[in-house]
Structure 1
Amino acid sequence: MSKKRLQVGQISYTNTLPVYYYVQTEKFINKADIIQQYPAQLNDAMAEGKIDVGPISSFSYAEHAEEYVLMPDICVGAKGPVNSIFLFSKKSIEKLDQAKIALTNTSATSVNLLKILLQKCKGLSPSYTVMRPVLSEMMVEHDAALLIGDEAIVAKRSDHGYFVYDLGQLWYEETGYPMTFAVWAIRRDALEQHEELLSELHHQFVLSKNKSQRDFTEVVEYTVKHFGADTDFWHGYYSGLIHDFTSEQIAGLEHYYAYAAELGLLPKPVKVTFWPADSYTTTSMN
């Protein structure tokens, strides 16, 4: 019986680019397909078995922790401002009790992080509506709107006059922890059939991440060309992101899962499980 090609997901956002930019894709010709989607789409495709490995919302990992394991060494997180996940509001955040909030339909982690921040940390009780990520439409009948990724970056640069809150910064102020927004997950049922290929893919991801972090210049030039803004903005943006899955990142993520369970967003707290279990080798461990 021939092996099926490995289905590799890729998030269509700039925040994962350092992990993919230097991957030698020629190593995977005839062995793997790379599929670009938004986080929420990848979450669904992974759950349905259409994607074998890729970056998904860290909340989605918690929902399927018995079916997935995580690649060590790589994630998307921040300790403080993440600069691509924003709550835009017509009033200050303390005045959002009973407010109507529009949520992007492209996220799981950030949507639930916002609920934790507003309901558990600030004691507010807003109502939520899920919408496509267009700020002008979201704010017509709502007091605030949550955007993530490149849509959030573009909206932040526009002259809209709203209060703007960075969810990474809010989380850090409330808990003292960094936040991990995306993780690279592997379906357990893909491990046996593709173990060697997955190992090489992980190796390529880590090499790309490390090379990018040593010098973001080439990644920034690519991003400016394809997404606009200037080099200073993107250098600052990439420098503020965390792509190393450190012990501190794990602690912050498991704290987030515990809060989510307290609010009933998850049935129980979740612990992070890596593949392979005995080779957590990130050089950035605290």
Structure 2
Amino acid sequence: MNRDSKNKARSSLPRIGQIDFSNCLPINLPIKKGAVVLEGEFVSRVPSGLNALIEAGDLDVSAVSLYCYLNCPSLSLVPGISVSSLGPVGSVLFFYQGDLKDLDKAPVLVPNASATSINLLRVILDQEASVKADFKTVVTPDLPGSSASGALIIGDEALKVDKSWSASFNRIDLGKWWFDRFKLPMVFGVWAARSEFVEQEPTRYKEIEEALNRSRDLGLSSHLEEVVEAAADHMLLDRERVKRYFIEELDYNLGDEHRKSIELFQKLCGSLN
């Protein structure tokens, strides 16, 4: 194969986005290790980065924020797989000083990597105290080092600071709040495909859908110890804590209850606009 042919073959591969958080390792690692064969051009970013790429048409299939999927009509939901919680999620946390009712117009730090969590926090503040905080977008919220009244922190960083911040501030686990309130799983992330790609490449799309679901199954079974080891080494956390995170706190399914939850989240977000 000459160079032009190689370039043409490479460019014809599906463009697949992977979230650069440890919570997606059960899906990403078996593919990376070759336990699940999935050919594509892989792009790794934080959720907001992948949201922007797929909205611009620069990805074919990607893990995205639920909020991105709900606000992008050109996307189709990949069945069977999500990043959700059935109670405490452990990695989407809101820390604050004083009472929630005192946060009206108060400065609250939120991460630029987030979309779903920021809007869920808006819902929580409205439902619990009928307040609207003044969200300040930063790369990594640092509540102890700022004059802000609260901070939303997500992903690996949330797991890292949880113990120390919990000793100084009030804490809300957003996944727990949602489940306690509505008795439904909180869906933070989903996998979505450009509808055009689904229509034009149905066979290839189906292969990707099946590979993602199969990888999830392996990542939570035969490859779980590898997943835990990689995440613990990356976050510098105790392996038992990390294993509990994957087994007890996160949920990677997408069933009827998840879809009900998605509809409710969309409705509640819409009521705030």
TM interval, shorter chain, is 0.7 to 0.9
In the alignment, is the contact (CA less than 8 A) between 2:109 and 2:143 conserved in 1?
Answer: no
Amino acid paired to 1:150: D
Q: Who is 1:248 aligned against?
A: 257
Point out where structure 1 has 5 or more consecutive residues left out of the alignment: 265-286
Deviation at 1:169, TM superposition (A): 1.0
2:157 counterpart SS class: helix
Asked if 1:48 corresponds to 2:75, the answer is no
Q: Who is 2:266 aligned against?
A: 257
Point out where structure 2 has 5 or more consecutive residues left out of the alignment: 1-7
1:35 counterpart SS class: strand
Q: Which residue, 154, 158, 165 being the options, matches 2:164?
A: 158
Mapped partners of 2:37, 2:246: distance in 1: 27
Asked if 1:207 corresponds to 2:214, the answer is yes
1:256 counterpart SS class: helix
Amino acid paired to 2:160: V
Amino acid paired to 2:79: P
Mapped partners of 2:235, 2:107: distance in 1: 31
Deviation at 1:79, TM superposition (A): 1.4
Amino acid paired to 2:156: D
Aligned pairs (5 A) from 1:37-186: 37-64=45-72, 66-136=73-143, 140-158=146-164, 161-186=168-193
CA distances 1:29-56 after superposition (whole Å, capped 9, x unpaired): 5xx2100000001111110011111110
Q: Who is 2:231 aligned against?
A: 223
Mapped partners of 1:153, 1:114: distance in 2: 18
In the alignment, is the contact (CA less than 8 A) between 1:120 and 1:263 conserved in 2?
Answer: no
Identify, as 1 or 2, the structure richer in helix. 2
CA RMSD of aligned residues (A): 2.1
Deviation at 1:96, TM superposition (A): 2.5
CA distances 1:228-248 after superposition (whole Å, capped 9, x unpaired): 211110111001111010111
Amino acid paired to 1:241: L
Q: Which residue, 19, 23, 32 being the options, matches 2:27?
A: 19
Q: Who is 2:13 aligned against?
A: 5
Bigger mean CA deviation after superposition, 83-92 or 128-137: 128-137
Mapped partners of 1:83, 1:58: distance in 2: 18
Between the two proteins, the alignment pairs up a number of residues equal to: 260
Percent of paired sites with the same residue: 27
CA distances 1:117-145 after superposition (whole Å, capped 9, x unpaired): 101343123222211213158x5131001
Deviation at 1:198, TM superposition (A): 2.1
TM-score, normalised to structure 1's length?
0.84
Mapped partners of 1:18, 1:26: distance in 2: 12
2:253 counterpart SS class: coil
Amino acid paired to 2:161: A
